[in-house]
Amino acid sequence: MRRMKFDVAVVGASPAGLSAAAGSARTGARTVLVDRNLALVPNANTIFDGMASAASLNVDQFSIHQVRGMRLVSPSGHILEIDARGHFLDRKRFYAHYLNSAASCGAEIVESEVRSVSRSADGIELSLSSGDVIDAMIVIDAGGVDSRLASSMGFKTMRHPEDIAWALEVDVRHPGIGEEDRFEYWVGSTAPGWKATFSPAGDEMATLGVFVRRHGRDVQRFLDLFIRKFINRRTGSYPAIERMRILETRRGGDPIAALPGRIVGNGVMVTGGAAAQSGLAYSMRAGAICGEVAGRAALTGDASRKRLSAYSRRWWRELGPEYLLGRASLETLRSMSDAEIDRLFLSLSGRNLLVPGGLWRKSATAALNVTRAMPRMLPRFLLNLLRF
């Protein structure tokens, strides 16, 4: 048995965990990243330039297929299109790059499972499946939506855990299907509470998936329905589309509308999916903030909740407003019937849905468009915004 001492221990090599480990190591803090399976690649595979730039990510080098925007599909098949350059990513290369980056910054990488966590005189003690023990001044839980590390220490890390969107995705193959130039997002009863997705990946490859809220973890029936609808919609565009091959299947959860709860305590921080910080780019930005704050705090010898709370303050100031608006929007969508969604799409047809400027200008423009289209939606949205 080895007993290893670090300033900061990051548990979970999620995208947020990789950023946290790199951010901490860059400060000069002795940092370790622990994960039970470093060969397991995170599920995220699509990103838009706007989100990537907000998180200072350069994703062009990992792009398998570029799209020129997104296509929103209503329950009855009405279409809204938004131009916004995006990418289907090579997940393995992306993950390997940022894992190597964390190591290059000075973080030690340990492949082992954390079996137990407890407080000690020196901070936090992690007992590993290898038999080794890590003593750290600060521990960062970056283990994803199913992580139990922080919750085992009394943390309620999400305000609305009931609103995790449980997801099921499949990789599919069919001649030409990967060459389309827009991601698709289907809304309504096909995937209640959020979306069903089509992501072209170049050549013959694409991904189909559903992200469903408040219908339990088993969302297979929604994926089956979506695949049938997708095939019906593409009949005539692709010969023998009904024989489209389904390859790999992936399951997971996305806390898109869960909102962070308690994510900081004495010697403990939470980031990424475990903290309801959804989205590849934004979770990595959250991880970077978390790691930087942890590293600087450790170097001063102060791991108090007061000192570490700089992380949560920075996160709420920089990214929090977008998550609040996102939750209010998704709660409004969840309350709408398919017929209401169809009417909204018809009313928004022909309007400019993507405007330049900051978050508040974009939000105000979107609210104005929706209010003009369906005036009774605005009070519903504002009420959901106040209920965060």
Asked whether residue 181 is assigned to any structural domain, the reply reads yes
Q: Are residues 143 and 288 in the same domain?
A: yes
For residues 36 and 126, state if they share a domain.
yes
Q: What is the CATH number of the domain that holds 238?
A: 3.30.9.10
Residue 230 lies in a domain: yes
Statement to judge: residues 277 and 299 lie in one domain: yes
User: What b/e readout covers 218-256, taking b as 16+ CB neighbours within 10 angstroms?
Assistant: ebeebbeebbebbbeebeeeeeebeebeeeeeeebbbbb
> With 60 as the cut, is the pLDDT of residue 217 above it?
yes
Nearest-angstrom CA–CA distance, 179 and 3? 52
Asked, for residue 85, whether it belongs to a domain, the answer is no
Q: Is the pLDDT of residue 329 over 50?
A: yes
Domain count of the fold of the chain: 3
Same-domain check for residues 7 and 138: yes
Query: Within 10 A of 39 (CB to CB), how many other CB atoms are there?
Result: 8
Rounded Cα gap, residues 6 and 26, in angstroms = 14
Q: What is the pTM of this model?
A: 0.94
Tokens of 201: 């990946």
Does the residue 299 lie in any domain? Answer: yes
Are both 279 and 178 inside the same structural domain?
Answer: no
* CATH code, domain with 30: 3.50.50.60
Does residue 353 sit within a domain? yes
Q: Which of 291, 318, 345 is the last residue of a domain?
A: 318
pLDDT in tens, 239-276: 999 999 999 999 999 999 999 999 999 999 999 999 99
How sure is the predictor about 386, in pLDDT bands with cuts at 50, 70 and 90?
A: confident
Q: Does residue 155 sit in the same domain as residue 96?
A: yes
Q: Is residue 79, in this structure, part of any structural domain at all?
A: no
Same domain for 242 and 180: yes
Q: Which amino acid type is present at position 377?
A: M
The reply to whether 143 and 239 lie within a common domain is no
From residue 2, give the alpha-carbon distance in Å to each of 25, 37, 119: 22, 20, 18
Among 342-346, 347-351, 360-364, which is the least confidently predicted range? Answer: 360-364
The continuous run of DSSP H or E covering 71 comes out as: strand 63-73
47 in a domain, yes or no?
no
Is residue 292 a part of any domain in this protein? Answer: yes
**365: its two tokens:** 């423009």
User: Both 249 and 358 in a single domain?
Assistant: no
Which of 236, 254, 272 finishes a domain? 254
Query: Are 247 and 123 within one domain?
Result: no
| Each residue's pLDDT tens digit, 61-74 | 999 999 999 999 99
When the pLDDT of each residue in the chain is averaged and rounded to a whole number, the result is 93
Structural domain including 174 reads: 165-254
Residues 21 and 107 in one domain: yes
Last residue of a domain, one of 254, 281, 304: 254
Residue 54 pLDDT > 90: no
Q: Are residues 249 and 264 in the same domain?
A: no
pLDDT score at 368: 64
> Which of these, 88, 62, 335, 368, lies nearest to 209 by C-alpha position?
88
